[in-house]
Amino acid sequence: MTMIDFEFNEETLSDHNLVIGYISGADDSVPLSSPMIMNTVKVGDRNKIVSRQYDDVITKTFTIVKSPCYSNGKDIFFTDDELYEISAWLQSKDYYKFKPIYDDGSFPDIHFYGRFDINAIYGNGSIIGLELTLTTDSPYGYGEEQEVTYSVSSDNSEFRVFNDSQEYGYLYFEEFNIKCNSSGTFKMTNDNDISLETGHAYQTRIENCLADENITIDCQHKIITTDNSTHEETLFDDFNWNYPRLVCDYVSPLNVFTVDTSLLSDAEITVKFSPIRKVGVI
């Protein structure tokens, strides 16, 4: 399995008539995911895990060169204009979607969020290649984005989301949209997200919602917005700042959400999320 192309920020390497170059020699040993640190205590003759965390995010370094299909094997040097174009595409202040493309079609639905550092490789006084170092924002990848719309009303106040992430814990929605078909208070609990301290379910609450209002919550970047100018003035005070999230545990990947339809009788909820996949860039 060899990476032959990649997509970054909605453009592919081949769009720029470039290919990934490899140095011949022994195969590298590449870990499938970022290493994990286990903190343990000694109990009798055995070690017991008391906490765990990933050691680092994913990094991958590789070289790109001009495609011989377009350079005829002669025009191998990068011009200034070509370098400007590549730098504008790959170098950014934020993390963008990165999707590796492998020669055998492996992991077709896996993507990451990353950024690049670029070093020039010289030959005969000119630039003949670029060394790219990808750094992701997390120690794992993500599966294909899921987008599902649910309707809640007095006849059906419950909806269910299946989170088959390969990492146990919380996964915050990339986007959580509420289309209010009535006015009132949006109160939602995740019946699978129970606090061990209080025994209460995790609750998201937004007061003073208005009919025909659309409220959008970017749970990963902690941003809430509304398309209603009246509610916009009080939205921050009306929100309890508990961002909707999914749970993945040892018992079940199913999350059951309940909306209190006695407070808000009719709404459409659209969720977007990408399940965690424990795989690296190979």
**In which region does residue 10 sit, left (phi positive, over 0), alpha (psi from -120 to 50) or beta (all else)?**
left
Two tokens at 38? 């286990």
**Bridge-based pairing state of the strands 223-226 and 18-21:** unpaired
Q: Please give the pLDDT value at position 211.
A: 97
Structural domains of the chain ordered from first start: 3-139 (2.40.30.200), 143-277 (2.60.120.860)
- Angle, vertex CA 171, rays to CA 190 and CA 270, nearest 5: 65
User: How many Cβ atoms are within 10 Å of 169's Cβ, its own excluded?
Assistant: 11
Beta bridge partners of 65: 19
pLDDT for position 74: 65
Please give the pLDDT value at position 35. 45
Altogether, the residues listed in the chain come to a count of 282
Q: What is the pLDDT along the chain (282 residues), one digit of tens a residue?
A: 889 899 999 999 999 999 998 533 323 333 333 444 444 444 444 454 444 554 578 999 998 888 877 666 567 888 889 999 998 999 887 889 999 999 999 999 999 999 998 888 888 788 888 888 899 988 889 999 999 999 999 999 999 999 999 888 899 999 999 999 999 999 999 999 988 888 899 999 999 999 999 999 999 889 999 999 999 999 999 999 999 999 987 778 899 999 999 999 999 999 999 999 988 887
What is the full DSSP assignment across 91-124?
--SS-EEEEEEETT--STT-BEEEEEEEEEEEET
Q: What pLDDT is recorded for position 129?
A: 86
Contact in structure between 42 and 33 (CB atoms under 8 Å):
no
| pLDDT reported for residue 160 | 95
Q: Which SS3 state, helix, strand or coil, does residue 57 take?
A: coil
Positive/negative CA dihedral, 103, 107, 10, 138? negative
